[in-house]
Amino acid sequence: MGHPDQSADPTGSGQADTRHAPELIRLQAVLRAARFHGIDLDVRDFADEAGQTVPSIPALARWVEENGGTAQGMRLQWRDLVRLRDVPPVALMFADGSAGLMVGADDTNGVIWLVDPFASPDTPPVAVDELRLEGVWTGDVLLVRGRHDGGRKEDAVNFAWLRRMVLGERVLLRDVVIASMVMSVLAIFPPLIVMQVIDRVVNFHSMSTLVSLTGLVGVMAFYEVLLSYARREITLVMTTRLDTRISLAVFDRLLALPLEFFEREQAGNVIGRVSAIYKVRQFMTGRLLGTFLDMFTLLVVLPFLFWLSTTLACLTVVAAALIGGIILLAMPTVGRLVGRQIRAEMERSGALYETVAGIRTVKTLALEPVRREVWDEKTADVVSASLDAGRMSNWVATAVMPLDLFINRGIILIGAYLAITSTTSGMEAGALMAFMMLGGRVASPLVGMARLIDDLNEVRSALAEAGSVLNRPTETRALTTGLRPPVHGALAFSGVSFTYPGASTPALSDVTFSVPAGTMLGLVGRSGSGKSTITRLLQGVSRSYTGQLRLDGIELREINLTYLRRSCGVVLQDNFLFRGTIRDNIIAGRPGLTLEDVVRAARLAGAEEFIERMPAGFDTWIEEGSTNISGGQRQRLAIARAVISDPRLMILDEATSALDPESEAVVNANLRHLARGRTMVIVSHRLASLVACHQICVMDHGHVVDIGPHEDLLARCDIYRTLWTQQNQPAGGNDGGPPSVSHMHGDAA
């Protein structure tokens, strides 16, 4: 768009821009700030949500975040604002609903630099001081940034990824290393002091040496306490921060996975596998860091030991190396057993999850014994695997212990022997004691290294588990790129075929039909004929179809997925309501919606009357699993939730199947209202509720058998007529039970 000549900032100088509505200027300011970070926003995407109101900060932030950036709203004082020196463009919210784009600040001169959001990029910014800004600025700003991992979002979750995460805490890591190094050096002093005490104080009865040594011990103890406190504190902060970063990144990834993935995988299993990532984190900040730090100790302690006694030092190193060797040898077996234990635990938590998630079914079908049996079985697996793994570790520990004892106690005997036998290089008692105190420190880094290699295997498998979930192709590209055409709702299928991944027969084959915008389209057909599959394609849940599916003439796969789903209102047979008030559930977190919208949507969905009868009205709390409202009420809330954003395309997949005739009648009566001005796709087994549809599409085995209005189908489509007569048999005729669907193929009797 050309906005060539507006060089003055619109409001900082007090002159309102008359060419653009304030809210447009505000959007443009955010858009420009985002573009600075390489994020392309589309104004239509935003306007779609917020309707007519002035864009609020949360809505703007959401807009940025949904398109791959991060945004943070803040309320600032002038003095904070002028100090934001090196921050790239910041959107300043103005009282008239517009915004300015601050591109720089200069606190020595007390000015900030503003540009008009619509000005061309080479327009020079305008300096604005506190007084001029005060008149227009609300104090609110929106900071926009690229997401740190934005560009690498699709990076595989692997060691490199985690390493980047850990290195992201570089400063803390450095502090931990420094503290540890100093502590390593300090570690040498106690043995030195002991040495002095024994050799000088005890042997020569020197009180003055004792006094100065005591002072030294006191000072060192103080530093040691301080340092170890600091090291623990820093490690704690680092690990929690790391956990937060990992959690956020992992959850982002998980949410970006396509629905198809979650449908195929067991929820408990997914959770288990994703949480394996924490095992890796634990390893990196626990064992890996610990061993790394121990190595410093080794670097300091080892030369000291050799200085004390070469022979003893050599013996110690050999014994420690033997320990490492034993552990290395046992590693593969231990690794395998531990792997089995982890898998068994994962299986068990999967069973637990399934039972809790399906507790209604478990209780109502009295399946407790069955579930308990499953649990017992899994628990038995866990027990045997843990025992095996534990026993193996025990064996290793036992095998290593003599060597450990040798390092810690045996050495002193050899030292004593050396002291007695050799007169020239004999050790003094003090040196021997010092050696004993430090010898143990050689073993732990070596043992740690050996364990490290063991852990590496475990961690590699944990990473693989997490990766098997997180490294799947995500929808992120489709969610953030693609067209955002205005949606009217004309649908055109031409030669669409689709087979579910892993299925042998196609769920849809060569589906061809089209309906203009504003059509009320019914879908009927026996169970498994592909009705829901059609609705899934429309929502972009399954995108690997062949043929062409166009929405308003545009191939569906070219449309931005977020945009498509937001333009689409969907009500399923069983809808999930979140814990929260009725109002929250209907708004469902979409910004810019008010209670009026909620009431309007509830009215359209036929939910208003029952909501108003509730004690707290729209503020009534819905419990987990929506246990405190009826099924019909829940459906109507779901419909309200779907229509509140006024989508051009609505999909109702057996939305009324679970309702009693009365609630169904209420909803159906509202459907005609609802359908006004939008395309509706209604899947229903009850043909009576589809009679009003403009077009009814009859499906069978993934094919479209016929499409037309009710009367036409009744006249020419056998399958439809059969269904119709089955469902509308005069009551009392043959009372031999409910009409079965199985003889659908036959003609009407």
Ligand X SMILES: Nc1ncnc2c1ncn2[C@@H]1O[C@H](COP(=O)(O)OP(=O)(O)OP(=O)(O)O)[C@@H](O)[C@H]1O
Residue 503 interacting partner from Mg ion, ligand X, none (CB closer than 5 to 8 Å by kind): ligand X
Nearer to ligand X, 644 or 698 (CB): 698
What pairs with residue 682 in β-bridges? Answer: 522, 652
Distance from C-alpha of 147 to C-alpha of 21, rounded to nearest angstrom? 30
Q: Does residue 45 contact residue 74 with C-beta atoms inside 8 Å? A: no
Distance from C-alpha of 291 to C-alpha of 293, rounded to nearest angstrom? 5
Which range binds Mg ion by CB under 5 A, 22-30, 42-50, 524-532, 644-652?
A: 524-532
528 near ligand X, rule: CB under 6 A: yes
Residue 131 interacting partner from Mg ion, ligand X, none (CB closer than 5 to 8 Å by kind): none
- Amino acid 218 reads G
Residue 316 interacting partner from ligand X, Mg ion, none (CB closer than 5 to 8 Å by kind): none
Which range binds ligand X by CB under 6 A, 126-134, 167-175, 499-507, 559-567?
A: 499-507
Q: CA 38, 42, 46 angle in degrees (round to 5)?
A: 125
Q: Does residue 745 contact residue 700 with C-beta atoms inside 8 Å? A: no
- The residue count of the chain comes to 749
Binds ligand X (CB under 6 A): choice among 279, 531, 636, 641: 531
529 near ligand X, rule: CB under 6 A: yes
Residue 533 interacting partner from ligand X, Mg ion, none (CB closer than 5 to 8 Å by kind): ligand X
Binding mask 460-479 for Mg ion (x = CB under 5 A): --------------------
Binds ligand X (CB under 6 A): choice among 52, 108, 208, 527: 527
User: Which residues lie closer than 8 Å to 485 by C-beta, 6 or more apart?
Assistant: 552, 554, 559
**What does the block give as tokens for 680?**
């509706």
Q: How far is the CB of 449 from ligand X (least distance, A)?
A: 48
Q: Tell me the residue number closest to Mg ion, measured at CB.
A: 532
545 near ligand X, rule: CB under 6 A: no
Nearer to Mg ion, 280 or 699 (CB): 699
Q: Does residue 596 contact residue 618 with C-beta atoms inside 8 Å? A: no
Q: Does residue 555 contact residue 502 with C-beta atoms inside 8 Å? A: no
Residue 529 interacting partner from ligand X, Mg ion, none (CB closer than 5 to 8 Å by kind): ligand X
Distance from C-alpha of 286 to C-alpha of 259, rounded to nearest angstrom? 35
Nearer to ligand X, 189 or 261 (CB): 261
DSSP secondary structure code for residue 428 in this structure? P
Q: How far is the CB of 682 from ligand X (least distance, A)?
A: 13
Q: How far is the CB of 532 from ligand X (least distance, A)?
A: 3
Q: How far is the CB of 523 from ligand X (least distance, A)?
A: 8
Place of tokens 């051009």: 648
532 near ligand X, rule: CB under 6 A: yes
Task: Using alpha carbons, select from 589, 482, 476 the residue that is nearest to residue 40.
Answer: 482
What pairs with residue 555 in β-bridges? Answer: 550
Residue 528 interacting partner from Mg ion, ligand X, none (CB closer than 5 to 8 Å by kind): ligand X
Q: How far is the CB of 291 from ligand X (least distance, A)?
A: 46
Q: How far is the CB of 697 from ligand X (least distance, A)?
A: 11
Q: How far is the CB of 701 from ligand X (least distance, A)?
A: 8
Q: How far is the CB of 681 from Mg ion (least distance, A)?
A: 12
Q: How far is the CB of 507 from ligand X (least distance, A)?
A: 3
Distance from C-alpha of 367 to C-alpha of 381, rounded to nearest angstrom? 21
Place of tokens 């200085």: 307
Nearer to Mg ion, 67 or 532 (CB): 532
| Residues 205, 209, 211, 216, Cα dihedral to 10° | -140
Q: Is 526 exposed, middle or buried (0-12, 13-18, 19+ CB in 10 A)?
A: middle
Q: How far is the CB of 150 from Mg ion (least distance, A)?
A: 37
Residue 507 interacting partner from Mg ion, ligand X, none (CB closer than 5 to 8 Å by kind): ligand X
540 near ligand X, rule: CB under 6 A: no
Q: Does residue 528 contact residue 700 with C-beta atoms inside 8 Å? A: no
User: Which residues lie closer than 8 Å to 61 by C-beta, 6 or more apart?
Assistant: 71, 72, 73, 142
532 near Mg ion, rule: CB under 5 A: yes
503 near ligand X, rule: CB under 6 A: yes
Residue 530 interacting partner from Mg ion, ligand X, none (CB closer than 5 to 8 Å by kind): ligand X
Instruction: Provide the 3-class DSSP secondary structure of residue 120.
Output: coil
Q: How far is the CB of 529 from ligand X (least distance, A)?
A: 4
Q: How far is the CB of 573 from Mg ion (least distance, A)?
A: 8
- Amino acid 551 reads L
**What does the block give as tokens for 614?**
């509730």
Q: How far is the CB of 469 from ligand X (least distance, A)?
A: 18
Which range binds Mg ion by CB under 5 A, 10-18, 422-430, 532-540, 555-563?
A: 532-540
117 near ligand X, rule: CB under 6 A: no
Helix (H) or strand (E) segment spanning residue 478: helix 476-480
Q: Does residue 157 contact residue 462 with C-beta atoms inside 8 Å? A: no
Q: How far is the CB of 462 from ligand X (least distance, A)?
A: 29
**What does the block give as tokens for 348?**
């068990």
663 near Mg ion, rule: CB under 5 A: no
Binding mask 244-263 for ligand X (x = CB under 6 A): -------------------x
What pairs with residue 106 in β-bridges? Answer: 111
Task: Using alpha carbons, select from 98, 46, 94, 91 the residue that is nearest to residue 72.
Answer: 91
Which range binds ligand X by CB under 6 A, 43-51, 273-281, 500-508, 559-567?
A: 500-508
504 near ligand X, rule: CB under 6 A: no
Distance from C-alpha of 154 to C-alpha of 75, rounded to nearest angstrom? 34
- Amino acid 583 reads R
Binding mask 479-518 for Mg ion (x = CB under 5 A): ----------------------------------------
Residues 179-218 that bind ligand X (CB under 6 A): none
**What does the block give as tokens for 698?**
């009859």
Nearer to ligand X, 37 or 526 (CB): 526
DSSP secondary structure code for residue 535 in this structure? H
574 near ligand X, rule: CB under 6 A: no
Would you give the distance in Å from CA 275 to the centre of its chain? 11
Residues in contact with Mg ion by the rule CB under 5 A: 532
Residues in contact with ligand X by the rule CB under 6 A: 263, 500, 503, 507, 525, 527-533
